[in-house]
């Protein structure tokens, strides 16, 4: 008989942090998202669209000529475009060189319509940089409007309906330790670099997608 696992501070029914670990350091999902954007910073150029605010555009962009912020909430003072991504007919076709869409699609029920609009508003040659949750808590304010979790397989199917298969790159990030730690509310700084850098496709925490409009 194997020895019982020692759960220590994780033997609890509430998380260590109510804020995804942000009050302890860097949320573990954001560690992977920011690594992805750092690697793709050359694509964050020209006319860039981001959701909610322009923080990643400002942090990772190179040669950004124009920055817009999309939000469904007209009360957001940082938003320059107010629209529902799944019904974004008001946004002109082919205007953006890059769309940054991090941890957003879980709140959009009509995923296919949202991705179709993202494809449409990109210029030919434009790039979508997207991240999707595979494992995450539900945000308290979105209990009734957080719909989805994703796998690498579902991301391929979703984006390849609109972008060609050759233009879509899907990567899963994380492992069983990072997934457990993220749910418990630990921060990235509380894990070692070697622990964070192991990507186990059977235990993804975050899925990243790079899709280019041909």
Instruction: Give domain limits for the chain.
Output: 41-173+206-212
Reported as a single tens digit per residue, the pLDDT across 58-91 is 999 999 999 999 999 999 999 999 999 999 999 9
pLDDT band of residue 7 (cuts 50, 70, 90) is low
Tell whether the model's pLDDT for residue 34 goes beyond 70.
yes
- The tens digit of pLDDT for each residue in 105-144 reads 999 999 999 999 999 999 999 999 999 999 999 988 889 9
State which CATH number among 3.40.605.10, 3.90.105.10, 3.40.50.150, 3.30.1150.10 fits the domain covering 41-173+206-212.
Answer: 3.40.50.150
DSSP string, 121-149: HEEEEEEEEEEEESS-PPPGGGTTT----
Q: Is the pTM of this model over 0.85?
A: yes
- pLDDT bracket for residue 151 (50, 70, 90): very high
CA pair distance 44, 49, nearest whole angstrom: 9
Kindly tell me the burial class for residue 208, based on how many C-beta atoms sit within 10 Å of its own C-beta (0-12, 13-18, 19 or more). buried
């Amino acid at each position: 008989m194997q020895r019982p696992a020692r759960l220590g501070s994780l033997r609890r029914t509430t998380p260590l942090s109510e804020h995804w670990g942000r009050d302890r350091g860097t949320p573990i999902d954001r560690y992977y998202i920011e690594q992805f954007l750092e690697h793709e910073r050359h694509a964050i150029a020209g006319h860039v669209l981001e959701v909610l605010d322009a923080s990643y555009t400002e942090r990772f962009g190179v040669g950004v000529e124009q920055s817009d912020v999309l939000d469904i909430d007209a009360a957001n003072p940082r938003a320059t475009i107010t629209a529902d991504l799944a019904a974004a007919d008001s946004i002109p076709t082919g205007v953006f060189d890059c769309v940054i869409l991090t941890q957003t699609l879980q709140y959009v029920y009509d995923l296919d319509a949202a991705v179709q609009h993202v494809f449409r508003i990109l210029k030919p040659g434009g790039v979508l940089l997207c991240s999707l949750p595979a494992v995450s808590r539900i945000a308290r304010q979105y209990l009734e409007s957080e719909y989805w979790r994703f796998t690498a397989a579902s991301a391929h199917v979703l984006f390849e309906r609109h972008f060609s298969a050759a233009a879509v790159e899907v990567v899963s990030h994380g492992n069983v330790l990072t997934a457990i730690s993220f749910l418990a509310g630990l921060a990235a700084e509380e894990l070692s670099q070697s622990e964070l850098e192991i990507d186990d496709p059977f235990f993804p925490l975050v899925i990243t997608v790079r899709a280019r409009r041909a």
